[in-house]
Chain A
């Protein structure tokens, strides 16, 4: 069964450093998302992406964040200058076009630890 994959599974970085989190969505999906989840808390929407541009973004997704689809398979989230409060699990998700139930398929996540 096709699945969303994410790398790395765990990233440790120092405050102020840039990180890039990578995702490979399911191959025929056209809508892509990033979420974050601080330990023990709810899943928070960051951004949605379709047709090579951002569709929606939340208040969390400020200028330090950016997304890119550099080729036909990868979808990346860049955090330019990490802060301690960016420590969280980051999930990528994707969905198919025209799927009436709006089902999103989540990857296993990247745990980001900022020290």
Chain B
């Protein structure tokens, strides 16, 4: 079967760094995406890794290790507005992606 595992909740302090891990088991693999979703909002694209390594976009970085079926999203200099749910998503076929269950990030002042 297809499965993506990520922690259900993570809590961090404003200004700190947090890492959200994702492991996956899928029939195919083309790449790993990360999406942010605020309560009541639509998912917003953050990053995509097709190859091993680290991709950096501002305060957010995403890492992929295909041999370990593992990736993570790193958020630095946390701000209160980063409080949201974060979903990893595997592109398991050419034009189909599977989302994980999401990690709810709580940020404390």
Contacts and interface: CB of A to CB of B under 8 A. Distances in A.
Contacts of B42: 91, 106-109
A108 B38 CA distance: 11
B71 interface: no
Contacts of A58: 96
Interface residues of A, number: 22
B99 A48 contact: no
Contacts of B37: 43
Given A42-B87, A102-B33, A91 B43 contact: yes
Contact of B98 (A31, A45, A100): A45
Given A102-B31, A105-B45, A45 B97 contact: yes
B45 A50 contact: no
Contacts of B101: 41-42
A58 B97 CA distance: 10
A56 interface: yes
A39 to B, nearest CB: 11
Nearest to A6: B42
Given A44-B99, A106-B42, 4 more contacts: A43-B35, A58-B96, A101-B48, A106-B44
Interface of B: 30-31, 33, 35, 37, 41-45, 47-48, 50, 87, 89, 91, 93-102
